Structure 1
Amino acid sequence: MMVSNVTEITFWAIDGPSVLTGSSTSNIRRINHIAKEDTSRFSQNLTMGSVNFNDETRSVISDVGDIGNVDFANDGSFYNYDQGTEGPIIISAPFPLVEGKPQFVAVNERIFNPVTIRNTTTEAVTLWSVEIYDSKPKDCFTLSVMEPPSPDSDDQSFVESFSLEDRTLLPGKTLTIWLSCKPVSKGLHTTAVHFNVDDDRIERMGFIMAEDKISRSLTSNKPYNRPRRNKPLLPKLYTPGGDNAGVKVIRTSRPAKATGRSYRYKLSEYVIPKNIRDMIESKTTPDALMEGLSRKNYVAFFKTLIIMEEMKLEDDMRMYDMQNVTLRRKYRFLALEVPGLAERRPSLVQGDFIIAKPSSQNEDNAFPLYRGHILRVEAEEVHLSFHDDLHSYHSEGDRYDVQFEYNRLGMRRLYQAIEAAGKLDSDLLFPEFASNQRSIETRRLTPISCSLNEEQTRSVEMIIGCRGGPPYIIHGPPGTGKSVTLTEAILQLYKNRRNTQILVCAPSNNAADHILDRIVKENGVEIRKGDLLRLNAQARSLDDIKPDYLQFCSYDDEEMIFSCPTFENLVRYRIIISTYTSASLLYAEGLQMGHFSHIFLDEAAQASEPESMIPISHFYKRDTVIVLAGDPVQLGPVIFSKDAENYGLGRSYMERLCESKFYKNGNQNYVTKLVRNYRCHLEILSLPSELFYQSELISCKEADTLYPLSWKDFLPKPEFPVVFKGVQGVDEREGNNPSWFNRIEASEVVEVIMDLIERGVRGHDIGVITPYRQQVIKISKALETFVGSEIKVGTVESFQGQEREIIIISTVRSTIKHNETDKRHCLGFLSNPRRFNVAITRARSLLIAIGNPHIICKDEHWNKLLWHCADNDSYKGCFLPEKEDNVVDLGSETQQDNNTSYNWDGDGGDQTNFNGGDDNWGEYHPQPPAGDNNWEDYSTRIPDGWGGADNWGDGVPGADNWGENPTWGEHQHPAAVADNWGQDSPEIAAEADNWGEGSPLPVPGNCGKV
């Protein structure tokens, strides 16, 4: 690349920077730092110039360290010979890459590499000098004309320096010099070497990745094999609800635990109408979506979105189809190995179905199919139960073709809830059209909890004084006391209103248990055993709930499962606590609309609108008080289908209401905003307050609870408990798993934790958040090996609603392509504001971010965190990028306001439908934590009670009926969804990739908006 009329040149010599002014460059033929085809996309990052050496000037790179972010696999012109730009002097690449990545070397271990300079001309050329132009870290590379001695050599004659001078290279001859590096710290080491040949300057870059024993222990022994993006589908054995004419299916009998129970309200099959299925498969947008959401088409609109989601799940399950596989006996069941099961989403879970056909049978439908179900999932093996015939006839070595189906129970409950919602008052669904504005008369409150502030007290008074109408909303960021407020309101009603009956729902078992814990532990009110029920799904493990709370649960000791009490017993409870989806069991048992005087939906921003409708549509009557609590600018619903998400399924009922003018005006009769934060240190709170909460948050944390003096000196600046540690690692993948990990960052995380523990910090006070499931596994493994302390490591989703004294964030990604499209895909998980918001608001006393500053600075929110630390002298680590012009304008393409498009495991699937390049930036699949058999904690599709008696064989097609009336979009009535979609670990579904999804449906501008 030629540079002329350069008026100011900044360069880094060995002893520091210099500035030349008034120089002009025009007579140098070649600079090999960038090939011709690369110049346009790098011109903003690199400023280069070269002049005749008689002028004693140097070529210039404005930030040689930026080379550390090069996409090694596709930008070879940075470090290799390019005949088109260099001509006949051939200089080899120092430290050639291995499989597209820098060579690894142990910290404090010397590594050296020969560099050859070959003269292919017929004339002698003068090599005026070879010099190290710049190194990062400084002075970490050296040059020598001698081969460096071995580590145990006593040779004293070896000499190395930063430059070599004046040699003549004869025609056809080759000169070998040696480039050495002895890294003193972990991470990427880079150097630029200048070769001044005659009147030309040629440049070469060298890269070394230094690792320590921790990072080396995490080295993968399984090379990455990129999964095929669009796996060809095997012939379909059976279509649930489809045309299966002539196919004989032998189904397994129901487990004993699902028998002997008859619900009052049956759950219809809700088979997907063929015309709607055909439209979606052909990428034709159904009319209900083109019209946008309105009161008139509310039912049809959301039913269509649920269909899109269900069809996406159907397609994703086809990834598990296999032919000619063997089943082996295991106890009373059959076991099947499913390669890659732990790495994909949606995963197979307990209650899903399997169709099996002996591989020897032909396809003329003369032989039956066996339809069984999954009893247990262990790593990459599933335990199966079929009809007794198959178990009896099966012999070891028999081979089968198999097809999996997800359990439709969850979807059927969503369809049912939306149908029921069609009969709700318009004021509830679209309150802006409410004919009457309510005015609540409040009475002075005597708090049960002495810790209520002004806003909390007012909201409790409003809830107690409220009589039906649109939902009352309590919203605010983490740590502002939303759960405290809900608990106070529930206890006030229980204590002072004898005729109240209260339903409390949460999106996960953990969240529901948290509410139970608060209610039971409040000293101001004694809850009688017969007044409170904690309703659990049958599939929930007994070990998953605290023994002290079993007294509030309905548990069948004989069948060893949780159960739903009978109607006669349910009506006696004053307070019932459940997940959103388990609430449908109450309707199935016969509880009527209006049975509950108050319905509280906690973490309402995390549930899709159809999920929120499960408790509301079944039990709301005109005088019922609905209370929604949550934070609509943190994580929301977990959606698999990109199209359904874009049309509005990814937006919660609470968020939709908060965006309406009716609630935006802040009318205290309908909404309270909590702004007093009791969790975070002021400096931890200041950035999210500025970015997401209009700078309204007030830090109320007591100064003497901020952090112990024993580890206060850990901070670069004692009064500023936010630290950024810059590490230039390398992101890697292994095996068939497209989830990323970064061993260098994992090592840094472990070292930080070891330092904190030595200072007296307890392991359970530390949490580690990272976007990719593989990084979760690597960090967990390293902690188990080197620390042994019980420290929670998880994704952002697994930390929502939780907090720790100290939070450490590992951002993982450390390589980026230098064009804007690929920056978007690489940064996808990072550039989701909601995940960023959740991640940085989990810490009470100390927040530590670990990552590559040259990568994260491309996103505006992470860039602000980086410079928030740097400007307060709280940055450690590798050199910083320039402060200006770092941020990539990701615009609407990243859907920054959408909480599931770009996933923190996350693992990976940025869900961008990106088809370019081998690396498929951001692509990932999650896997469950190693050794965790509590499948409900990370499954998004575990059914409530296996479908109970309301139809074992949930996915078996019945009449093509939507409720009792086949008319599309008509308003019929409901019953119960899988416990749960995103219930305990919504990150799992968020990580689903769009394999085979194709181009998205067109989205009208008004879709999903009121």
Structure 2
Amino acid sequence: MVANVEQLCPQQLFAGGCSQPNCPLLHHARFCEICSIVCVPAHLWSSHVSGRQHRLRAAAGNSTLVLCPVCKIRLPGETTWLEHIASAAHQTAAQTARLSPSVCPRDPANPANNFCLVCRRSIPSSSWAAHLRAEGHQKAQRNALYKARFEQAERDRGGVSVAHEDGIDFGIVSVEEARRGPQKKITVSLSPGSQPVLITKVETFAGSTRKPSDFTASISAQRVKAGRPVDIIVRLTQKLRGRYDGRLEITFQDVSTQRSFVVIRQLRAVVGSSADHNLLRSAAPYVRRGRAPWDSGRAIVEGERPPTLDAVRWVKKLPPSLIPSTLAGILDTGSTREVVNQIRNQFLPANFDSSTHGQHFRVRLWVEEHRMAEDLRMYDIEGARFVQEGRLWTLPVPGLAEKRPSVVPGDTILAQMGGSDGRTNRGFVHFVNRDNIRVAFHSSFRGNARYNVRFEYNRTPIRRQHQALLAPSTSSQRLLFPAPGYEGLHQPISAAHAPVNLFNALISTNPAQLQAVKSIQHLREGSAPFIVFGPPGTGKTVTIVEAILQILHRQPDARILACAPSNSAADLIAQRLTDRLHSLELFRCNAVFRERLSLPEDLVAYSRYHEGLFRIPPLDVLLTYRVIVSTCGNASFAYNLGVPNGHFSHVFIDEAGQASEPEVLCAIKTIAAPTTRVILSGDPKQLGPVIRSSIARELGLGTSYLERLMDRLVYDSATGQGRSFVKLVKNFRSHNAILEYPNEQFYGGELEVCGSPATINSLIGSPALVNARWPVVFHYISGQDERESTSPSYFNIDEATEVLEYIKTLLNDERHPIRPEEIGVIAPYYAQVRKIRLLLRRENIEDVKVGSVEEFQGQERRVIIISTVRSTRDMLSYDAKFTLGFVSNPRRFNVGVTRAQALLVVIGDASVLSIDPLWRAFMNYIHSNGGWRGSAPTWDTTAAVNMGANYAEEMREAAAADMDALMARLDEGEDLEGQANMDRAFQEVE
């Protein structure tokens, strides 16, 4: 085996031959793209392609879709790249074009890029050489070498035949069966005429390591003769749910030659529910969704706009703010690092201040818009058929019910007919049903053909943000770059200062809340935004609502705009105000096309809904409301309708950390006068804005307005506390066992446990607990993350089953009664959310909320169960970013674990999670307090965790060392006869 993958010639491996004279690299290797295996030396190729596994994969059409730059064709799935470039047709095309036939494959979606068959990634041509040298590519290539060597070790040899060449699979074993210790028999036989062999060792190991596995093996005899087979009995010893993999190593010794060799068999078992696996298993293997063929040069024929798009008469029109073509061109080429550097050099001013703020953020928005438009391509529909219904055309849209893609009336789609039609039809969405949309095209549209369809990105929200960035402001300095001197108060207000009659009497028992409410009443004009820093469960929304009511009570002329990033958060503010305000004082301003059923019933009277759409009253009526509640993005209505600058005396933004800066500025910059007080509430340690573009995040769009401001000196904890911000510290939500770890990690231990004992202690002694007095559980389950069909989202059936079992245990516990609506399940991937919901529906369990971390921010449940989903046995490719994905995010972690009041259960693969220092320390915390369930941790839980350590690299290095040791054992076997002869004298030569 090659000791260093850098010795292999990539041109030989991926281009079918090397055109470089006197190339110093090794050429005796072949790459199988179907199996992702590198055969070294090349003579192993013939045995590989004749093997059963290769034939099965080839029959399934597992080759990667690539583009030949010589023949200008996309290869169909059943034709491999190396087969194509070796073909006579390719050789002839290359000769005709006077090109070398030895070329690398290209990415069909981006023909300027090469496609790496080993990494299965699109690589810019300019970065190709660097990619081949990169550590990630080298690791992938090394893994391909290991796979080939494993394959050889699984083959029979020396006349020995070991049953189960594809491995020993116990299938799905129920927990009850697992307790009985199921077993499988493996027969070892010799072909007629072969010399006897000895079985010198039969061992089972975990993966490629020498660590014990969850299987045992025993043999009936050691000597194997022709016609007298020997049986090996393999038993499963694991009784907990999960997936278990092992390796059976059988070491043989040829009696006549004294040479030894090893034959390997893989061991597999799933302990779990076969019914759950049958219900949740993939409908089809995951295949990356391809883009529909598209001709961007065609003229566009416009369809018919819905009349409702013009239902509101805007005084000010949104700016077009189209992305500059030069910027779009940069975003289409080069690596992330190259693109970021080009943008910084060509588009971003050197300084970041009030004069350049708009330009900086407009570029970031364009980058994000470009990414969002690209992401919509994954929903392209190829060969779609439309059905005419009157003047509208109906189109079925897969995934529409799950908002993948998300489509609302007024959105647009593009449709192209194949062939020489020569035009693109733009259709406007008039109606959205559960699984189809109804679209209006131009009257010339011919629907009796198949069309390729693209969804267009709705630019209205981002145009509102550009408008806010472009709008002139007399308050830019204090709003965008406040400095010392802009504090809202000259001195902090004490609890005894300025007594108030509280609407919510409980606030009087909380000094920080009371200070925040009083401070907001006394903010001076022209001050920096005042911040209510509210960690989890500290009542920041309660504080904001009390402050609003106090302002209205004390200042009859006050006009307030209260906003939040999401409809649910804005609804919550409005609902808490309805007890004190009637519908002539409070208006819940909704987006025109918001779904009516998503608005809480108690807010209907505070909204305007007519003929299937939400409406905005005339300007003169709008100005009479004392409080208007809106989302941040929709708050631009005030500016565009002509609400006078300074009309609102106060602007409140709740959950301000969840929105991007341009989104928040939609509610502030266009309408704030020097007299307008701005109040932000939120927690920069919790979820930030959702930004899809890694380039936009690198440029700073992922940093919220709240977080950026709090890094400024005016909010320094030593001088700003009580003057420019107040930090709430009493946690009214969680049991101390739940709160202690995030409190130490994110809040310096400042939070105080103040929850109702009747609530936070209500599940002490529950059968769901490991330590009956400590309501946090980590359940170690080694499952398998999967994807299906064209969805890139992950799910884990084994974890979904475990989630269901916990829910059933809780609901069946009469000593600790709990209602389904008091249980929440958090999963980081939508596919897992769907699978868990499916299990709950089967069991007729309703009202358990299952959703993402984002859906739970600002909410709480007596019980929170977290399914972390990600699980892999490929330790050689462990990477904190790609192995853990969304899970490896401190803010998501913080929000997830702090939603629970009385019980927190985390279900996951501890070995995978331990890559991340934050998770490793959390699991150490649980293990040390007796909350651990399942197999023992794979690391020392008493060792201090280094938050800057690269545990993924440590695990990869250990796995690579184990694999190298295994490969060394497999390569030749031990020469036992040579070892025995060491003590024998050589015959003297006369």
Q: What TM-score results when the alignment is normalised by the length of structure 2?
A: 0.73
Letter aligned with residue 756 of structure 1: L
CA positional deviation for 1:611: 0.5
How far did 1:130 drift? 3.6
Deviation (angstroms), 1:686: 0.2
2:596 is aligned, of 542, 548, 552, to 542
1:730 counterpart letter in structure 2? Q
TM-aligned CA deviation for residue 170 of structure 1: 4.0
Q: Give the match for residue 778 of structure 1.
A: 835
1:796 to 853, 859, 883: 853
Counterpart Cα distance in 1 of 2:575 and 2:399: 38
Percentage identity across aligned positions?
33
Partners of 2:738 and 2:793 lie apart in 1 by 30
Question: Residue 855 in 1 paired to residue 855 in 2?
Answer: no
Tell me if the contact between 1:770 and 1:811 (Cα under 8 Å) persists in the aligned partners.
Answer: yes
Letter in 1 for 2:760: L
**More helix per residue:** 2
- 2:393 aligned residue: 334
Q: Is the 1:348–1:377 Cα contact (8 Å) retained in structure 2?
A: yes
2:754 to 693, 700, 708: 700
Q: Report the equivalent of 1:116.
A: 188
Specify which of 479, 482, 503 is matched with residue 537 of structure 2: 479
Residue 412 (1) aligns with residue 463 (2): yes
**C-alpha offsets along residues 760-807 of structure 1, whole Å, 9 cap, x if unaligned?**
321000000011111111111011112422211111111111110000
1:564 corresponds, among 616, 641, 644, to 616
Partner of 2:153 in structure 1? 82
What CA deviation, in whole Å up to 9, does each residue of 1:905-946 have, x standing for no partner? xxxxxxxxxxxxxxxxxxxxxxxxxxxxxxxxxxxxxxxxxx
* Greater shift in the superposed pair: 275-284 or 763-772: 275-284
Contact 1:426 1:433 in 2 (8 A): no
Task: Tell me, yes or no, if structure 1 residue 514 matches structure 2 residue 572.
Answer: yes
Q: Distance in 2 between matches of 1:37 and 1:824?
A: 30
CA distance in 2, matches of 1:342, 1:292: 46
Amino acid at match of 2:196: A
Question: Residue by residue, what CA displacement relative to the aligned partner does 1:184-204 show, whole Å, maximum 9, x if unpaired?
Answer: 442123555454545869575
Structure 1 residues 73 and 465, CA gap change in structure 2 (3 angstroms): same
Which among 832, 847, 851 is matched to residue 889 of structure 2? 832
Structure 2 CA distance for partners of 1:618 and 1:140, relative to 1, 3 Å: closer
Matched position secondary structure for 2:666: helix
Query: Are positions 1:765 and 2:816 aligned together?
Result: no
What is the rounded CA distance, in whole Å, between the counterparts of 1:369 and 1:358 in structure 2?
A: 8
- For 2:548, the aligned partner's letter is I
How far is the alpha carbon of 1:176 from its aligned partner? 4.3
Q: Considering only aligned residues, what root-mean-square deviation do their CA atoms show, in Å?
A: 3.7
Residue-by-residue CA offset, 1:970-998 (whole Å, 9 max, x unaligned):
xxxxxxxxxxxxxxxxxxxxxxxxxxxxx
Partner of 2:279 in structure 1?
A: 218
| Mapped contact 2:206–2:214 kept (Cα < 8 A) | no
Shift of 1:548: 2.8
Q: Secondary structure at the match of 2:887?
A: coil
Match of 1:352 in 2: 411
Kindly indicate whether the alpha-carbon contact (under 8 Å) linking 1:218 and 1:743 is maintained by their aligned counterparts in 2: no
1:96 partnered with 2:128: no
Q: Secondary structure at the match of 2:628?
A: strand
Q: CA deviation at 1:887?
A: 10
Q: Which secondary structure state, in structure 2, belongs to the residue aligned with residue 474 of structure 1?
A: strand
Q: Which residue does 2:691 correspond to in 1?
A: 639
Instruction: Give the gaps of 5 or more residues in structure 1.
Output: 2-34, 39-70, 144-162, 239-246, 896-1010
Q: Give the alignment partner of residue 167 of structure 1, picking from 218, 222, 228.
A: 222
Partners of 1:555 and 1:341 lie apart in 2 by 24
1:224-303 correspondence runs (5 A):
224-227=285-288, 231=291, 234-236=294-296, 247=299, 249-252=301-304, 254-259=305-310, 261-282=312-333, 283=339, 284-286=342-344, 287-289=346-348, 291=350, 293-303=352-362
- State whether structure 2 residue 933 is matched by structure 1 residue 876: yes
Q: How does 1:23-34 map to 2 (within 5 A)?
A: none
Which residue, 865, 868, 873 being the options, matches 2:922?
865
Give the whole-Å Cα distance in 2 for the aligned partners of 1:259 and 1:437.
41
Q: Deviations over 1:704-741 (max 9, x none)?
A: 32243696344222321101111122222222222211
Q: In the alignment, which residue of structure 2 is the partner of 1:719?
A: 773
Query: Is contact 1:78–1:205 with CA below 8 Å preserved after alignment?
Result: no
Structure 2 counterpart of 1:587, from 630, 634, 639: 639
Q: Could you say if the C-alpha distance between residues 321 and 174 of structure 1 is closer, same or farther in structure 2, counting changes exceeding 3 Å? A: same
Q: Distance in 1 between matches of 2:625 and 2:615?
A: 15
Query: Given residue 741 of structure 2, which amino acid in structure 1 is its aligned partner?
Result: L
Q: Which moved more, 1:835-844 or 1:200-209?
A: 200-209
Give the distance between the partners of 1:411 and 1:633, measured in 2 at CA: 26
Tell me, yes or no, if structure 1 residue 601 matches structure 2 residue 653: yes
Q: CA deviation at 1:305?
A: 0.9
Please report how far the alpha carbon of residue 544 of structure 1 lies from its aligned counterpart in structure 2 after TM superposition: 2.1
1:577 corresponds in structure 2 to 629
Residues 295 and 430 in structure 1, CA contact (< 8 A), matched pair in contact too: yes
**Structure 2 residues without counterparts, runs of 5 or longer:** 2-36, 41-141, 334-338, 953-990
Deviation at 1:854, TM superposition (A): 1.7
Please list, as runs of the form range in 1=range in 2, the aligned pairs for 1:310-321 lying within 5 A after superposition. 310-321=369-380
- 1:673 lines up with 2:732 in the alignment: no
Amino acid at match of 2:273: D
In 2, the alpha carbon distance for the partners of 1:676 and 1:421 equals 40
Contact 2:292 2:381 survives alignment (8 Å): no
In 2, are the aligned partners of 1:606 and 1:637 still within 8 Å (CA)?
A: yes
Indicate if the aligned counterparts of 1:127 and 1:195 stay in contact, CA closer than 8 A: yes
Q: 1:313 to 1:423 in 2, by over 3 A?
A: farther
Amino acid at match of 2:575: D
Q: 1:227 to 1:97 in 2, by over 3 A?
A: farther
Matching residue within 369, 373, 377 for 2:428: 373
SS in 2 for 1:777: helix
Q: Which residue of 1 aligns with 2:978?
A: none
1:432 maps to 2:483:
yes
Query: For residues 343 and 812 of structure 1, do their structure 2 counterparts lie closer, same or farther at Cα, with a shift above 3 Å needed?
Result: same
- Aligned partners of 1:119, 1:422: CA distance in 2, in Å? 89
Compute the displacement of 1:828 (Å).
Answer: 2.4
1:139 CA displacement: 10
Deviation track 1:612-639 (CA, whole Å, cap 9, x = no partner) reads 1111112211121100000101111111
Match of 1:533 in 2: 587
Q: Distance in 1 between matches of 2:383 and 2:877?
A: 45
Q: Is the 8 A contact 2:215 2:246 kept in 1?
A: yes
Q: 2:243 aligns with which of 188, 199, 221?
A: 188
Contact 2:154 2:165 in 1 (8 A): no
> Structure 1 residue 643: deviation in Å?
0.8
Q: Distance in 2 between matches of 1:207 and 1:375?
A: 52
1:268, distance to aligned residue in structure 2 (A): 2.5
**Partners of 2:797 and 2:143 in 1: CA distance:** 18
Please give the secondary structure, in 2, of the residue aligned with 1:251.
Answer: coil
Q: CA deviation digits over 1:156-190, x for unaligned, max 9? A: xxxxxxx3365223479864434344864421235
- The letter of the residue matching 1:209 is V
**607-616 vs 826-835, which deviates more?**
826-835
1:83 and 1:538, CA in 2 relative to 1: closer, same or farther beyond 3 A? closer
Displacement after TM superposition at 1:105 (Å): 3.7
CA distance in 2, matches of 1:221, 1:591: 53
Name the CA distance, whole Å, in 2 between partners of 1:783 and 1:509. 27
Residue 126 (structure 1) aligned to one of 184, 198, 209 = 198
Equivalent position amino acid for 1:374 in 2: V
1:191–1:590 CA distance, 2 compared to 1 (3 A): closer
Q: What's the TM-score once normalised by structure 1's chain length?
A: 0.71
Displacement after TM superposition at 1:552 (Å): 1.5
Cα offset, 1:234, TM superposition = 1.6
The whole-number CA distance in structure 2 between the counterparts of 1:572 and 1:610 is 28
